[in-house]
Each structure stands twice: as structure tokens, then as C-alpha cells.
């Protein structure tokens, strides 16, 4: 039995647009007990950025293809996957050094071709090990994820062991390299070090309870080396015609490894969600604390786009920390329209500092998503309005994702 402590909470799903999956096409038998599962996905996206301090607006049209296969023989499987990104329209700063002086805002999707995953696994009913370059998404990816929103996926060179005994799930990972979204031509293509991720969880009467420990010791960017210890509890309350969900998470972070700044900062996350007749309501508070303005709680391996607003203003936590008060209203149209599966959502964020009483700004995010067979269509918009941090920023996305 797989404990959902390592999965995404139902409250988080209220604010997540529908996306096409990246599952293999389906197994093809090539010998007795041996199958091959082809993998093929493609994503076409337009991203436009208006930023008040940039000379020009950014226009990025990118297409990403992932292709590979997984061979399985009994409990042993091997997976290989390549990833390529092209930019037919490249009026944007793609973060590569030779494009860094372009008078455009950043869209972190450089052209790229790389080995995305190459792994060997031995797994039986959720218990086993995975070795190699692999996708790692822990929980809702708040601390460790694959940065799945960007075209180039984040993966890890790691060994991972998982054990499921009844309702108890244990997960231990040791990684030596974080393969970033910036592509093989970037000086930030990978960050090496010693990284340990530990999770333990169980489900008791419908309530997920778990603890985690993340030890990050970078070789080349010690300012982001840290040790984080935390707890999480989440559950659902099913009522006739009404679904309620709640989640609470706490963590404490301090300096680790070669980090020269001594600090301790705390993390809080509280979320309450409700869903009735297709209407979803989510209210949340998230705090990435500060140690008196010296240093703040950081999550350098997270899927950051999913948190603190889609405008990506707070990819690095300011030294004064951040408090994010947010609420989401969503609606699942179901079969009430000629186009089935249509979903819409709007979110409001209010950002303040944790230390120093600074009003950072506010943001509105909106999305419209529909999945038609193997194709997922998505439109998103983000509008960040600055008070005392960064500048006014507006972003729009139109995309189609194909899973063959």
C-alpha cells in the first residue's frame, strides 16, 4: 500500500491546472516476461512577459520533446529518455551567458538537447531501489521537485530506496548532482554536492502524517547549503456533497556544510480547502521565515513556479523572509459545456516580509485548462503588482501538451 504522505494533497490540487501525463504509451511484449514501454511527449508553449524595468517585452515560442523507452523484465527495469527544446521565436533572455545582455525579461527555457533520465530500478510492489539520473518529486515539490513547469526538466544523479510496509512508507535518497533547467550549455547546467533526502509517513484513519529531513551540501554555492527538518499532517473530511481538506506543515532550517552564514529560520504552511458542486475554495498561509534579516529559509531544489505566484518573483527568498497570504477559487465545469473537462481557477496572493514589516506586493493568477484525449490545453495569466519589492510584472502563457 502506498502512503499518500509522499503524494500531493487534495488541497493543493484545487489550484493545479490539468496537464497531460507523461506515462509510457503502453507495454509492448518483446519476449517472454519482457516488455518495452515507449515514452513520447511534446509541449508547445508561448510565453509573453511585460516587466516595467525591461527595455522590451519578451516573446518566447518554444517546443519541447521527450522521447525514450522503459524495458521491464520481472522486478527489474531500465529507462532511458532524451529531452530537446527548440525556440522558433526567441525574443527573450534565456539565461545563457551569450544571451544575458539581451534587453528582454527572462524566460528560463533555453534551447537544449540532453539526456534527461537514465536509470535502473529493482522494484516490487513499491519496495526497491532506483539508481541513475532520475526524476525526483517529493510530496507537492515544495522542497524537492522536477521543476516540471519549465521546458527543461530538473533531474538528479542519485540512488533512491523505498520501502512500503502496510500503511508505512519510507523513502531515502542520496544524490550527488542536481541537473538544472538551464541546459547543457549553461555554467549552471548542474550543481554538485552531497544531498540527502529522507521521508517517512503513514496514513491513520484517513489522515496522512509524516516527517522529513533534507540535508543539502553544495560544492560550488555554499550559501544555499542547509539542513531542514519538518513535519506534515493532512487529511480529508468527506461529507455528503461536500469535500473538506486541511494541511499543516512546519519545518526548521539552519546552515549546513560550507555555508558561512549561521542562521535558523522556520517554515509554516497552513491550507484549508473545500469543494462542492464543482466549486473549489482554498485558503492558505505560507511563511518562509527570516533570522532577523541575516538569512532566510530557502528551497533551492523546489518546483518554485507552483508556489508564491506564477510570476516567479520570489524564486530566491529575500533575506527578510516572506509571508504569503493566498486564496484560490476554482470551478470544474464537468460535462455542463459542449467541451468536457473544462477547469478554471483564479488566485490572489498578498506578500509581506517576515522580518521588518515590509509590504512586498500582491499578485493575481488565473488559468483555464481542458484536456481533450491525449492533448491538454492551458491558458495562464499572472499579474504581480509591486509595492516595495521587484517591479510590476505581467506574464501570459498559451500551451498545448501532447502525450502519445
Domains and CATH numbers, the chain: 4-403 (2.40.160.10)
Distances (CA, A) of 50 to 4, 65, 99, 142, 391: 39, 27, 18, 27, 10
State residue 147 phi and psi, 5-degree precision: 50, 50
Q: What DSSP designation does 105 have?
A: -
Q: Are 146 and 304 in contact (CB under 8 A)?
A: no
Task: Kindly give, in sequence order, each residue whose CB lies less than 8 Å from that of residue 400, ignoring residues fewer than 6 positions away.
Answer: 43, 44, 45, 375, 376, 377, 378
pLDDT, tens digit, 9 for 90 and up, residues 141-166: 999 999 999 999 999 999 999 999 98
Q: Which residues does residue 346 pair with via DSSP β-bridges, in sequence order? A: 329, 366
| Mean pLDDT, residues 217-230 | 97
CB 298 within 8 A of CB 262: no
Vertex 136 angle, CA 42 and 6, to 5°: 115
Q: What is the pLDDT of residues 337-353, one digit of tens each?
A: 777 789 999 999 999 99
**What pLDDT, in 10s, does the model give residues 262-306?**
999 999 999 999 999 889 999 999 999 999 999 999 999 999 999
Residue 14: its pLDDT value, please?
42
Quick check: 225 pLDDT over 70? Answer: yes
Contact 123, 153 (CB under 8 A): no
The residue among 213, 247, 206, 244 whose CA lies nearest residue 230 is 213
Query: Is residue 314 scored above 50 in pLDDT?
Result: yes
Q: How confident is the model at residue 23 (pLDDT cuts 50, 70, 90)?
A: low
User: What share of the chain in percent tops pLDDT 70?
Assistant: 93
Length of the chain: 404
User: What residues contact residue 295 under an 8 Å CB cut-off, 6+ apart?
Assistant: 255, 261, 263, 265, 319
Backbone angles phi, psi at 6, to 5 degrees: -95, 5
Total-model pTM: 0.91
Indicate the range of 10-19, 36-45, 221-230 predicted with least confidence. Answer: 10-19
Amino acid at each position: 500500500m502506498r502512503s499518500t504522505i509522499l503524494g500531493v494533497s487534495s488541497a493543493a490540487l484545487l489550484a493545479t491546472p490539468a496537464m497531460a501525463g507523461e506515462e509510457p504509451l503502453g507495454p509492448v511484449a518483446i519476449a517472454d516476461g519482457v516488455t518495452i514501454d515507449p515514452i513520447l511527449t511534446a509541449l508547445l508553449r508561448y510565453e509573453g512577459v511585460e516587466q516595467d524595468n525591461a527595455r522590451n517585452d519578451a516573446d518566447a515560442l518554444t517546443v519541447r520533446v521527450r522521447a525514450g523507452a522503459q524495458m521491464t523484465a520481472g522486478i527489474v527495469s531500465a529507462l532511458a529518455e532524451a529531452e530537446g527544446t527548440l525556440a522558433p521565436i526567441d525574443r527573450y533572455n534565456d539565461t545563457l551567458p551569450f544571451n544575458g545582455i539581451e534587453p528582454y525579461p527572462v524566460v528560463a527555457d533555453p534551447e537544449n538537447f540532453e539526456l534527461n533520465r537514465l536509470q535502473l530500478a529493482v522494484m516490487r510492489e513499491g519496495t526497491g531501489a532506483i539508481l541513475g539520473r532520475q526524476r525526483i518529486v517529493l510530496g507537492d515539490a515544495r522542497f524537492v521537485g522536477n521543476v516540471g513547469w519549465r521546458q527543461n526538466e530538473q533531474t538528479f544523479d542519485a540512488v533512491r530506496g523505498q520501502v512500503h510496509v502496510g500503511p508505512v512508507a519510507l523513502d531515502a535518497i542520496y544524490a550527488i548532482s542536481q541537473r538544472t533547467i538551464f541546459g547543457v550549455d549553461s555554467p549552471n547546467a548542474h550543481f554538485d554536492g552531497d544531498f540527502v533526502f529522507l521521508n517517512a509517513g503513514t496514513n491513520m484513519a484517513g489522515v496522512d502524517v509524516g516527517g522529513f529531513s533534507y540535508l543539502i551540501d553544495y560544492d560550488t554555492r555554499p550559501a544555499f547549503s542547509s539542513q531542514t527538518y519538518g513535519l506534515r499532517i493532512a487529511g480529508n473530511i468527506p461529507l455528503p456533497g461536500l469535500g473538506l481538506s486541511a494541511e499543516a506543515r512546519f519545518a526548521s532550517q539552519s546552515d549546513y556544510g560550507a555555508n558561512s552564514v549561521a542562521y535558523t529560520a522556520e517554515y509554516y504552511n497552513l491550507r484549508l480547502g473545500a469543494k462542492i458542486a464543482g466549486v473549489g475554495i482554498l485558503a492558505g498561509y505560507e511563511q518562509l521565515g527570516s533570522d532577523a534579516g541575516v538569512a532566510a529559509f530557502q528551497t533551492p531544489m523546489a518546483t518554485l513556479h507552483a508556489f508564491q505566484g506564477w510570476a516567479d518573483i520570489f524564486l530566491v527568498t529575500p533575506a527578510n523572509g516572506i509571508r504569503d497570504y493566498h486564496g484560490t477559487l476554482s470551478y470544474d465545469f464537468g460535462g455542463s459545456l459542449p467541451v468536457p473537462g473544462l477547469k478554471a481557477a483564479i488566485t490572489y496572493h498578498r506578500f509581506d516580509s517576515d522580518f521588518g514589516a515590509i509590504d512586498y506586493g500582491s499578485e493575481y493568477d488565473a488559468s483555464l485548462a481542458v484536456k481533450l484525449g491525449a492533448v491538454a490545453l492551458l491558458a495562464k495569466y499572472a499579474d504581480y503588482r509591486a509595492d516595495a519589492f521587484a517591479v510590476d510584472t505581467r506574464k501570459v502563457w498559451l500551451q498545448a501538451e501532447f502525450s502519445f
